[in-house]
Amino acid sequence: MTDEKFIFAIPKGRILEELLPLLASCGIEPEDDFHNPKSRKLQFSTNIPNLDIIRVRAFDVATFVAYGGADIGVVGSDVIEEFDYDELYAPIDLGIGECRLSVAVPKDQVGVADNASHIRIATKYPHLTAKHYAKKGIQAECIKLNGAMEIAPALGLANRIVDLVETGSTLKANNLVETDEILKIVSKLIVNRTALKTNPDTIGDWIEKFRVAVA
Residue 61 has pLDDT above 60, yes or no: yes
Q: Are 93 and 185 in contact (CB under 8 A)?
A: no
Q: How confident is the model at residue 1 (pLDDT cuts 50, 70, 90)?
A: very low
What mean pLDDT is reported for the chain? 94
Reported for 150-156, long-range contacts at CB under 8 A and 24+ positions apart, including other chains, are 150/104, 150/174, 150/176, 152/122, 153/105, 153/106, 153/109, 153/122, 154/106
What pLDDT is recorded for position 115?
Answer: 65
What pLDDT is recorded for position 3?
Answer: 65
Residue 111 has pLDDT above 80, yes or no: no
pLDDT digits over 183-208, tens only?
999 999 999 999 999 999 999 999 99
Give the phi and the psi of residue 33 in degrees, each rounded to 5: -65, -20
Q: Are 186 and 97 in contact (CB under 8 A)?
A: yes
Report how far residue 29's alpha carbon sits from residue 26's, in angstroms, rounded to the nearest whole number.
9
Q: Where are the beta strands (DSSP E) in the chain?
A: 6-11, 43-45, 51-56, 72-76, 88-93, 99-106, 118-123, 139-144, 160-165, 176-185, 187-192
Q: Are strands 160-165 and 176-185 parallel, antiparallel or unpaired?
A: unpaired
Report how far residue 79's alpha carbon sits from residue 97's, in angstroms, rounded to the nearest whole number.
12
Structural domains of the chain in order of their starting residue, each with its CATH number: 6-97+186-214 (3.40.190.10), 99-184 (3.40.190.10)
Q: Are 66 and 168 in contact (CB under 8 A)?
A: no
Residue 122 has pLDDT above 90, yes or no: yes
Residue 210 has pLDDT above 70, yes or no: yes
| Element spanning 65, H or E | helix 58-66
What pLDDT is recorded for position 109?
Answer: 84
Residues 6+ apart with CB under 8 A from 116: 138
pLDDT digits over 91-104, tens only?
999 999 999 999 99
| Element spanning 59, H or E | helix 58-66
Averaged pLDDT, 170-177 = 95
